[in-house]
Every structure is written in structure tokens, then in C-alpha cells.
Amino acid sequence: MVDGGPSKAIEKFKKYLIQYSINPNEIKLVVLTHADFDHSGSAGAIREITGAKIAVHENDRAILEEGRFNFPPGVTAWGKISHAIFEPLLKKFPIPPQKADIILNNEDYPLSDFGIDGRIIYTPGHTAGHVSVLMENGDLFAGCMAHNIRLFTPGPGLPIYSEDIEQIKKSWKLVIDRGAKMIYPGHGKPFHIDSIKKYL
């Protein structure tokens, strides 16, 4: 499973298990692309239901384990405006501290032991510890390396929030060289890599 959603999303998770006929015990690993509140908040609760391990990069570990609020700054005009609007509201929601089971570093982490034909790769920029899951067929679960949701962008594009937008561009060049084709962002619908190539 990629990302754990915001805190208190566990009831929605349970509904999805029923909707898609998934046995909770089949989920062996929760890969956190990063430790922002909206991607990691329910990871611990999901672990309790599934028994899965939680994997996070060492650079985002403290955010996860201390239950720290993290919201990267805006890098576009709308990103800066919306950040100023949303941050005071989002800070009010509690974030439970959650212990990681697998601490990732900058090296690839093969997923073959979990029966997955792919690997976790280090793709910093949105946060210092951002990772993505690249499948052998070119599918990329990209977290917040890109956004494709109307609240943020009119179509597929680079994220409107980032700690280092230039580093994100370097991470995109990396995954393009590694064969990424179909992109599954953390926010919005999937899109083809050609949409990102236009920005680069």
C-alpha cells in the first residue's frame, strides 16, 4: 500500500477493504512517500488492522515518529495563497506519533520480498525524505512529486507545494531515465509521463 492518508481516515480505509474485497492480512507493507499529515496520519491505525510494516525515509522519520505537523511551502502564486489559508486550519487536527518499521535511505529498496515487481526509489524535493514506488512496467506511484487535482492545478503538473522545487525537477529526470511511464500522483488522477516532460 502506498501512503496512509490523513488521521481519522481509517473508517474510509475499512470501507475500501470491503468494496474491493481485500483481505487486510494481504497488505504487508505501507510505503509512506513522505511524512506529511495527509499521507501518513492513519498509517499506524492501518498497521493495527493489517499487521503491515511501515516504511519511511530516514529524512522524514522524525516527522512521523514525533507526530509533527509538516506542510511544505507554496512555490506558485496559488500555492502561496492557499498555504496561508489552509495552514492555520490544518494545524488544528491532531497527528498521532507513529513508529516506523523500515527506515529507508538513498538507495533503492526492492519490493520482491513483498511479492511486488518494483522498488522504492529516493525522489526528494517535496520533502527531504520523499520517495516513490517504481514498478517494472513503468507505473510510478509518485506521492507529491506532481499534482493533478483541480484544487491545486488545472491539469497534470509539478506540485504547488515543495521544500525544493528544483530538486523535484532532478527527481523527475531520474525517474524518467529509470523508465517511468504512467504516473499515479498522491492527489488527483493518473497521467502519462509526457505531461511532466513538457515542464522539463
Q: Which residues, in sequence order, are bridge partners of residue 2?
A: 31
Cell 531515465 sits at which residue? 177
Q: What is the pLDDT of residues 100-143, one digit of tens each?
A: 999 999 999 999 999 999 999 999 999 999 999 999 999 999 99
pLDDT tier at 8, thresholds 50, 70, 90: confident
pTM, two decimal places: 0.96
| Separation of alpha carbons 45 and 99, rounded Å | 11
Q: Is residue 171 part of a domain?
A: yes
Q: Is residue 3 part of a domain?
A: no
Contacts of 82 (CB under 8 A, 6+ apart): 74, 152, 160
Q: Is residue 18 part of a domain?
A: yes
Query: What's the structural domain count of the chain?
Result: 1
The whole domain housing 151 covers 10-197
